[in-house]
Amino acid sequence: MTTTLENPSTPFSAEQARANDADRINEIAQFNAGELSTIHEMVNNADTLFTWDYSKGARPKLEKLYEKAKRSQWNAETDLDWSIEVDPTNILLPVENVPPTIEDLSGPGSPVRKWQDDDWAKFNTEVVAWRLSQFLHGEQGALVCTGKIVETVPWIDAKYYAATQVVDEARHVEVFGKYLNEKIGNTYPINPHLRLLLDDIIEDSRWDMTYLGMQIMVEGLALAAFGFMRNLTAEPLLKQLLRYVMADEARHVAFGVISLQEFYQELTAAEIRERQVFAYEAALRMRDRFLAQEVWERLGVPSKQMVEIFLALPMEKLTFQQLLFSRIVPNCRKLGLLDAADGWLRDRFTELGVIEFEHLEDTSEDYETYAAMENSQELEETASQSQQ
C-alpha cells in the first residue's frame, strides 16, 4: 500500500501529527491536477485462482448470503421512477443544527466568514453533486474489486457470492451515473484520496487485502454515507435509490466480515500487523476524502485553510465523519484487528477519535435488518411519494 508509515511502532504523537498534517492532505489533493484522460490504467498483481472443488455449502453463511443475493436483485430502469422531476438546489433538508455548523466553519480568520445565505446555498448544491460523484466513482471501484475477488478468492462459495456483487455494483454505477447526468447535471472527477485508495487495493497481490480494503473499509463507509444522505433528503427518487443500494451494500460488507473472520484465524502476528496498517491507512484516505477540497476550490476558497479548520474541530463537531466510522470500527473489532499486535489499531483509532464506535453492531448480520425492511411500510411510503 502506498504509505509513509515506514515504522508501525511510530510514537503516537508523531503518527497523529502525520495524520492531521494539512500539508500532507493538501499535497494528495493535487494528485489529479491536469489529468484529462477518461481511462485510468492499473496493474493487477494478483494471481488468478481456479478451484476444482465445486462443493456448494462448505461455508453455510456464504451460501445463505448467496441465496439472499439471488432473491434481492432489482432493475434500475423499472424499479425506480425516473420521471420524477428533481430540483438540484433543493435536495438536502435544512441542517442548521447538524455540526459542523456555519458558525463552526466561519469563525475569525476563516475564508468563508463573510459568506451570505446564497453562498451557503450554492455550497450545499455543490456538495450534493460532489458527494454523489464520489459515490459513483467508488461504486466503479467496487465493481472492479469484486471482479478481482471472483478471480482471486480460492473458495467456490465466495466466488458464487462475489459474482452476484459484480451485478450489484454494475447496477449501482448505472443508477448514480444516471441520476447525476439526468437529474443533477453537475459532476466532479474522482477525489484524489479515493483514487489513491482504490489504486492501493487493486495493486496489492493478496486476495484478502481486496476484501479488507473494499468490502470492509470502502463498502462499510459507503453504507454509512448512504444512510446519512438518505436521512438528509426528502427528494423521493434519491431516497428510494439510496434505500435499494443500501440493501445491497449491507450484504457486501457482511461478505467481507464472514470471509475474513475465517481467514484471519490462520495468519501470523506479523501478517495481522500488515492488515492493521492497511486498514488504518485506508481509514485516513477515507477521512481525508470527505474534506471536500474540490468543492472549496471550485467555489474559489483556499482548500488548505478549510482543511485546517476541519482538523481543528473536535470529533463531536464532525457528525458525518463520526457516522462513517460507525461501521468500520465495529467490523475491525469483529475481525480481531483492534486488539491484535498489542492493540496497535486500537491506539490509531483512539487518536482519530473514533474508538467509541467499537461496540456498535457489526455488519456480519446487518443485512438481515435491511432485508426485513425491504417490503416495509417505509419503502411503500417512499414508492407512493414517487408516484405523486
pLDDT-derived band of residue 383, with 50, 70 and 90 as boundaries?
very low
Q: Which amino acid is at 244?
A: Y
How many structural domains does the chain have? 1
Residues 297-311 have pLDDT tens digits of 999 999 999 999 998
Cα 45 to Cα 42: distance, rounded to the nearest angstrom? 9
Distance of alpha carbon 123 from alpha carbon 139, whole angstroms: 24
Burial class of residue 173 (count of CB atoms within 10 Å of its CB; 0-12, 13-18, 19+): buried
The answer to the question of residue 19 being in a domain is no
**C-alpha closest to that of 31 among 294, 277, 242:** 294
Question: Is 56 inside any structural domain?
Answer: no
Does a structural domain hold residue 275? yes
The answer to whether residues 254 and 370 touch, using CB atoms and an 8 Å cutoff, is: no
Q: What is the pLDDT of residues 314-367, one digit of tens each?
A: 877 887 777 778 888 998 999 999 999 889 999 999 988 889 889 887 766 666
- Cα separation, 161 vs 351, in Å, equals 36
On the CB side of 229, CA atoms within 13 Å amount to 26
Asked if the bond preceding 88 is cis, omega within 30° of 0, the reply is no
Residue 326, domain extent: 63-72+116-387
* Structural domain includes residue 313: yes
Q: For 97-119, how does the pLDDT look when each residue is reduced to its tens digit (9 = 90+)?
A: 677 888 889 989 999 999 999 99
Residue 334 domain-assigned? yes
Q: For residue 205, give the C-alpha cell.
A: 497481490
Answer whether residue 234 is part of any domain.
yes
**Residue 350: CATH number of its domain:** 1.20.1260.10
The reported pTM is: 0.88
**Ranges 87-96, 252-261, 338-347: which has the least confidence:** 87-96
Residue 187 lies in a domain: yes
CA dist 334 and 264 (Å) reads: 11
How does DSSP assign 60-125, residue by residue? HHHHHHHHHHHHT---TTTSS-TTS---TTS-BPP-TTSSSPHHHHSSTT-TTTT--HHHHHHHHH
pLDDT band per the 50, 70, 90 thresholds, residue 42: confident
φ, ψ of residue 379 to 5 degrees: the values are -70, -40
